[in-house]
Amino acid sequence: MKSFVQKLAVASFYLAFSTAFAAPPVAPFYESVMQLSPTGKLGQVIKTEQIKTSLKGAQAWKIAYISSDVRERKTISTALVIAPVGPAPKEGRPILAWAHGTTGSAQNCGPSQVIDPTRALNQYFLMNGNGSTDFGIPNGQEFINEGYVVVATDYQGLGGGGKHQYAVAGTNARDVINSARAASSMAEIGAGKKTVIYGWSQGGGATIAAASLPEYLAQQGTAADNLQYLGFVALAPEDLAALLPKVPLDEASASKVMKEFTAANVPNVFLFTHFMMGLWGTQAAYPDLKLTDVLTEEGAKVADQLSSNKCVHVMGDSFNYAYGDNYKSLLNPQASNASAWIKAFVDGSVKPVKPVAPVAIYWGIKDTVVPPVMHELYQKQMCAMEANVARVQLPGEQTHFSTPGVSAPMYLEWVKDRIAGKPLPNACPKG
């Protein structure tokens, strides 16, 4: 039972929300985009705004473009596009499409909305981080120096209107694919067809999900057809489907799996916050689901309020302030409709389809955010289909958050080799 002080804190928490704005404030560019209709070709750019960049020899834009979600409903996503200054080669510049890690699920959580969004990756948790969220472009300056175009999606719902389908890798994958199409369609930046997708954490999951969408990648009638996908770089990628049993499951079995899955995601407020956003994002993708299947009435209300209004780290602070060690009280003792939730998790995750190009995964042995067993199982699954999937364990005891920085020089060379067309031995484990 909650103490008087805890009840007072929760009451104050609700009062703050009841008197606050209905949606977080965004800059005029995003306000105008949120009024637009998602009609047009996939990858079609529907709004641009040139911005300053701190990268040398570069020019940059914010863009809004047409995408679609895992159910093929049209959406609008926003992104950054960065290109070298000067004339492009006749064949066009290669495209590097970046898929970012978790920032949150509210409209103001898109990385393109911060000051100097094109700078090098700035990570909240690291000692040299100087912001309240993760933003910036890993290897951005290095890719510009090589003559590449870099496009960095915010994903749908993080500036373009609608509810962000957080950790629904199938949706996030489509956003990054369509960001590459958008970049290729912009005549002013001189992008060509050669494309590499790279991403971290949530974006790592989007990256490997994109690799296994051959029909979507080959779709014609887009803003830029026939992109040549040369490789996929995934930093600590998540893959829920690799962990969860194949569906359909009977309700009793599904309930057991859901209970185990929930228990693995709620040992601390940090993971619990991601779990709540994941439920909220999955329900947005699959509206027949109800948050009250998994959460109490209070929990569903809080999940909706926080996911709609706050980015991830501030959201975690709110849970900690209002509930302290009692945050698990927002969960139902037993989930209902578990089989439908498990089916949605699997359907929204990475498809069991051979990747269209080589995949390189970089990971740290001390990663406690995305269990390495996820991409270990992914590699085993895809290698059985005769794919070329490498898993590179980083030197030392790297965490989830040190993975992007430590891996950067490694995958920079891997990307350059793919664009140069160098042969690549199969990296799947032998035997």
- What CATH number is given to the structural domain containing 202? 3.40.50.1820
Q: How many CB atoms lie within 10 A of CB 379?
A: 22
Per-residue pLDDT, averaged over 255-264, amounts to 94
For residue 19, is pLDDT > 90? no
Q: Is residue 391 part of a domain?
A: yes
Residues 102 and 210 reside in one and the same domain: yes
Residue type, 192: G
Q: Is residue 229 part of a domain?
A: yes
Per-residue pLDDT, averaged over 13-39, amounts to 73
Instruction: Give the pLDDT score at 387.
Output: 98
Q: What is the pLDDT of residues 165-215, one digit of tens each?
A: 999 999 999 999 999 999 999 999 999 999 999 999 999 999 999 999 999
Residue type, 271: L
Residues 100 and 158 reside in one and the same domain: yes
Q: Give 295's strand partners.
A: 331
Per-residue pLDDT, averaged over 268-290, amounts to 97
The residue with greater pLDDT, 21 or 188, is: 188
For residue 94, say if its preceding peptide bond is cis, omega within 30 degrees of 0: no
Per-residue pLDDT, averaged over 221-227, amounts to 98
- pLDDT category, 8, cuts 50, 70, 90? very low
What sign does the CA torsion over 293, 299, 302, 308 have? negative
Tell me the percentage of the chain whose pLDDT exceeds 70.
94
Give the end of a domain, one of 346, 374, 395.
346
How far is it between the farthest Cα atoms of the chain? Answer: 71
Domains identified in the chain, total number: 2
For residue 228, is pLDDT > 80? yes
Q: What is the pLDDT of residues 115-161, one digit of tens each?
A: 999 987 888 777 777 777 788 899 999 999 999 999 999 999 999 99
Give the end of a domain, one of 346, 370, 400.
346
For residue 14, is pLDDT > 70? no
Residues 111 and 199 reside in one and the same domain: yes
d(CA 185, CA 139): 23
Give the end of a domain, one of 346, 363, 390.
346
292: containing domain: 4-24+245-346
Residues 192 and 177 reside in one and the same domain: yes
Q: Is residue 387 part of a domain?
A: yes
Residue type, 417: D
Instruction: Give the pLDDT score at 126.
Output: 78
Q: Is residue 413 part of a domain?
A: yes
Q: Is residue 431 part of a domain?
A: no
Residues 124 and 70 reside in one and the same domain: yes
pTM over 0.85: yes
Tell me the percentage of the chain whose pLDDT exceeds 90.
87
Residues 162 and 187 reside in one and the same domain: yes
Q: How much is the mean pLDDT over the chain?
A: 93
Supply 209's token pair: 């999900």
Residues 257 and 375 reside in one and the same domain: no
Residues 80 and 98 reside in one and the same domain: yes
Supply 206's token pair: 């989007």
Q: Give 60's strand partners.
A: 51, 82
Instruction: Give the pLDDT score at 22.
Output: 53
Order the strands of the 45-51 sheet from edge to edge. Answer: 45-51, 58-68, 74-84, 149-153, 93-99, 191-200, 228-235, 359-363, 389-393
Of 29-33, 132-136, 416-420, where does mean pLDDT reach its minimum? 132-136
Residues 332 and 355 reside in one and the same domain: no
Residues 189 and 116 reside in one and the same domain: yes
d(CA 317, CA 307): 13
Instruction: Give the pLDDT score at 245.
Output: 78
Residues 364 and 219 reside in one and the same domain: yes
Determine whether 148 is exposed, middle or buried from the number of CB atoms within 10 Å of its CB (0-12, 13-18, 19+).
buried
Instruction: Give the pLDDT score at 5.
Output: 39
Instruction: Give the pLDDT score at 6.
Output: 45
Instruction: Give the pLDDT score at 24.
Output: 75
SS (H, E, C) the chain: CCCHHHHHHHHHHHHHHHCCCCCCCCCHHHHHHCCCCCCCCCCCEEEEEEECCCCCCEEEEEEEEEEECCCCCEEEEEEEEEEECCCCCCCCEEEEEEECCCCECCHHHCHHHCCCCCCCCECCCCCCCCCCCCECCCCHHHHHHCCCEEEEECCCCCCCCCCCCCCCHHHHHHHHHHHHHHHHHCHHHCEEEEEEEEEECHHHHHHHHHHCCHHHHCCCCCCCCCCEEEEEEEECCCCHHHHCCCCCCCHHHHHHHHHHHHHHCCCCHHHHHHHHHHHHHHHHHCCCCCHHHCECHHHHHHHHHHHHHCEHHHHHHHHHHHHHHHHHHHECCCCCCHHHHHHHHHHCCCCCCCCCCCEEEEECCCCCCCCCHHHHHHHHHHHCCCCCEEEEECCCCCCCCCHHHHHHHHHHHHHHHHHHCCCCCCCCCCC
Instruction: Give the pLDDT score at 12.
Output: 40
d(CA 219, CA 198): 21
Q: Is residue 379 part of a domain?
A: yes
Nearest Cα neighbor of 32 from 87, 107, 120, 88 is 107
